[in-house]
Amino acid sequence: MEALRRLLGASPARRLPPPVESDDVYPVHMLDDTKTLRSIVVTWTLCFNDVLDTDNLHASLSRLLEIGDWRKVGGRLRLKNGELEIHVPRPFTAERPAVSYTHQSLAMDIEDHPLAKTLPKATEAPSIQSGPQAFRTFAARENAPETLEDFAYTDAPQLSLYITSFNNATLVALSWPHTLMDVMGQQALLHGWSLVLAGRESEVPPMLGAREDAIRAATDAPMEKEEEYSLGQKRLKGWAMAMFGIRFAGDLLRNRVVETRTIFLPKKVVAELQRQAQGDLAAQDDGAEKPFISEGDVLTAWTLRAVVSSLPQPRPVAALHALNARFRLSSLVQASGVYIQNMAVAAFTFVSPEIATGPLGHIALENRRHLMEQSTEPQVLAYLRELRREQKSGSDPASMLYCESNALLMPFTNWTRANFFKTADFSPALVRAGETGQSRSNPPGTMVFHHAQSMRQSPTARNVIVVLGKDHDDNYWLTGTLLPPAWAKIEEDLKRM
């Protein structure tokens, strides 16, 4: 058969590596092993305006993954009867390390590199800059794993570290299959890494739930009174789901070109957007006490309105938010350690065409209202029970959409709570400062920018907004994957600012 495949020009069939009997075997949990997350390999680039000791960074990250159940992060993905497991070498060795490590050193200032000099940077006014896809060369080494199969059919560690050094800057890139962790897992990893680097290994929080899934335990725990999922009646099924799929496919065919770009919003601009939104609500409520809306609500409202206003005809919008169960389930909130896994669940905001093209404050308030209704512990558990039923039936949880069949789906992810700019403290690895003088606003060894991407961009990705968070001056950074008319509308808005 193999000879026939070669004769026909087909690539040889991949074989699963033989199991290593001495490996520790860890499970992959309920919200990790999904069809959607299996299709994503994340790469995350952290930009430092300092020269850092790269060997020190590598050694401290490797050491972190030798502590207790942190070892799970250094394991290898394996498929067993169609399900994922993580096999961890015991011990890690030079041949089977905890982290795949590559370093390139470029003997020039970052400003002299034709591509690196265009990396996004803070500007005096709001700006639109190049997106992460333009910088793939700094995101991962050549021939790095790009698919789940690249991990499962090799002995590659889940986590890769790829560092690029300049004379005055350092780019630190991590990549991993999304089945490993979510954004708050990334924060925990970055914090633990910083502690080991600083010689504070005893302060590294223990990894919880490495073998027992805390999400599944919370879902299965008996409750005095279970609530029905409030959006249950809005779920797309049957003909409605078919119509949604037809419209989505039509949108893909009509609008093949999407652009991923980075938005920089100075602190004062976000404050002005917040003031406008609060003013809209004051006018609506005739001077009554204004309801609370967060900066995240306002950024959602601003980008949502720009996208809807750019459409040939306004449509209802379903904003799909990632809601983190770590902060919603009482059994997880007071945890004595960290969870390195996926704990994000879906939440939906529904906005009519009239509201979506109207005042900013009304959109922000609608977003706040829907999220508050869905973020209670009983509702998060109700959603998780729906998800369990879906998984048991063999269906893909990604098909669980709750909206009108003609709605425009807009996925939003807000990373602000992870506070990455201040979580990463690599000052113990500082060789020398790269940027000096009054223009510098960040402490030594901390990052000035970061962005993330998937190793393979999905052709269906569009109308996606990622809020990367605040930098050391409280300016906001966002990444958008949008159609050209939406970018034109955002540019128009920024010019007015």
Q: Which residues are catalytic?
A: 178
Answer for the pair 88, 71: CB distance below 8 angstroms, yes or no: yes
CA distance 307 to 464: 10
* 322: its two tokens: 């990632």
In Å, how far are 170, 186, 311, 484 from 178, measured between CA atoms?
25, 11, 32, 28
Element (H, E) at 181: none
The secondary structure of 24-90, three-state, reads: EEEECCCCCCCHHHHCCEEEEEEEECEEECHHHHHHHHHHHCCCHHHHHHHCEEEEECCEEEEEECC
DSSP sequence for 416-479: GGG-HHHH---GGGEEEESS-STT--S-TT-EEEEEEEESS--TT--SEEEEEEE-TTS-EEEE
Which residues touch 66 (CB under 8 Å, ≥6 apart)?
Answer: 74, 91, 92, 98
DSSP sequence for 2-27: HHHHHHTTPPPPP-PPPP-TTSEEEE
CA distance 478 to 302: 12
Length of the chain counted residue by residue: 497
One-letter amino acid for residue 346 of the chain: A
* 231: its two tokens: 């959006």
DSSP 106: -
Task: Count CB-CB contacts under 10 A for residue 228.
Answer: 12
CA distance 413 to 296: 10
- Phi, psi values for residue 2, rounded to 5°: -65, -40
Q: How would you label 279-304 residue by residue, b for 16+ Cβ within 10 Å and e otherwise?
A: ebbeeeeeeeebeebebbbbbbbbbb
CA distance 329 to 162: 35
In Å, how far are 342, 385, 452 from 217, measured between CA atoms?
14, 11, 31
* 72: its two tokens: 């799970």
CA distance 259 to 245: 22
Answer for the pair 292, 368: CB distance below 8 angstroms, yes or no: yes
Beta strand ranges found along 257-341 (DSSP E): 259-265, 317-324
